[in-house]
């Protein structure tokens, strides 16, 4: 089953629609199972979405938020995805949501991976996973350049350490298997450059990491693409 692509004229319309869909699924999860799990990604693209979600009336105390990946930097560092999420999503009404940090209390990234695998590995199926995509076709921290890519795409563990050669900082990334253990995936993209990469990734012979998430039998995947006039 191919991913469904939804196009928008600007990033704000996209953020409005995506926020509505996420809220609906989180509400249903809490009603049916008493809790909900939302996985988000860092970067500038999701900021309008985060700000919209933060003011939604949801049972936030029953919602757990975690990241698809994290740079191995202190949580107060400007490069920290955790810092970005706490300052933009976990504000206002969403401040009562639970948050699981991938940074952990360990200084050593390999020790942290063990802790993340224990904690995140025992979580139930996620309800919503929001992914981004780089111009090189990476998603989460599953980079085409990294020696750890094959592990990230095949391991049954929840997470792994990644040492990208084309981006700064070591990373903790959730694995393909853990990210796809979800009821819904959204791929959040803005701009013509991302559309070009998406077109390449949608080809059956694509070797881009994001392609591993676009053709799923049992997980709905919706691509939310904004193409503002440039």
DSSP structure string for 52-96: HHTTS---GGGEEEEESEEESS-TTSTT-HHHHHHHHTSSGGGGG
Between CA 157 and CA 118 the distance in angstroms is 9
* Burial annotation 127-145 (CB, 10 A radius, 16+ → b, else e): bbbbbbbbeebbbbbbbee
CB of 41 closer than 8 Å to CB of 140: yes
pLDDT for the residue 166:
87
CA separation, residue 147 to residues 120, 135, 212, 218 (Å)? 23, 19, 17, 28
Between CA 219 and CA 7 the distance in angstroms is 20
CA separation, residue 156 to residues 41, 153, 159, 228 (Å)? 21, 9, 9, 38
Provide the percentage of residues in the chain whose pLDDT is more than 90: 95
Second CATH level (architecture) for the domain 4-226: 3-Layer(aba) Sandwich (3.40)
Four-point Cα dihedral 199, 200, 205, 207, nearest 10: -130
pLDDT for the residue 216:
86
Nearest to 226 by CA among 2, 3, 1, 17: 17
pLDDT for the residue 229:
80
Between CA 1 and CA 220 the distance in angstroms is 8
Nearest to 18 by CA among 32, 8, 28, 27: 8
pLDDT for the residue 90:
99
The pTM score is 0.97
The tens-digit pLDDT sequence of the chain (230 residues) is 679 999 999 999 999 999 999 999 999 999 999 999 999 999 999 999 999 999 999 999 999 999 999 999 999 999 999 999 999 999 999 999 999 999 999 999 999 999 999 999 999 999 999 999 999 999 999 999 999 999 999 999 999 999 999 889 999 999 999 999 999 999 999 999 999 999 999 998 999 999 999 988 899 999 999 998 86
181: number of Cβ within 10 Å:
18
pLDDT for the residue 230:
61
| Domain residue ranges of the chain, discontinuous segments joined by + | 4-226
pLDDT for the residue 1:
62
């Amino acid at each position: 089953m191919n991913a469904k692509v939804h196009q928008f004229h600007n990033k704000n319309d996209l953020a409005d629609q995506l926020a509505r869909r996420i809220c609906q699924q989180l509400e249903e999860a809490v009603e049916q199972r008493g809790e909900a799990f939302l996985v988000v990604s860092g970067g500038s693209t999701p900021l309008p979405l985060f700000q919209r979600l933060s003011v939604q009336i949801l049972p936030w105390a029953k919602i757990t938020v975690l990241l698809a990946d994290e740079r191995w930097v202190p949580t107060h560092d400007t490069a920290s995805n955790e810092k970005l999420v706490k300052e933009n999503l976990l504000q206002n009404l969403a401040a009562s949501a639970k948050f699981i940090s991938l940074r952990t209390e360990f200084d050593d990234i390999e020790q942290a991976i063990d802790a993340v695998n224990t904690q995140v590995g025992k979580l139930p199926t996620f309800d919503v996973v929001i992914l981004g995509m780089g111009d090189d076709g990476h998603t989460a921290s599953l980079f085409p350049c990294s020696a750890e890519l094959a592990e990230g795409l095949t391991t049954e563990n929840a997470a792994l350490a990644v040492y990208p050669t084309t981006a700064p900082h070591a990373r903790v990334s959730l694995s393909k298997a853990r990210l796809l253990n979800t009821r819904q995936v959204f791929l959040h993209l803005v701009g013509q450059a991302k559309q070009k990469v998406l077109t390449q990734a949608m080809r059956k012979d694509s070797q881009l990491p994001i392609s591993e998430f676009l053709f799923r039998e049992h997980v709905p995947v919706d691509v939310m693409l904004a193409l503002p006039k440039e």
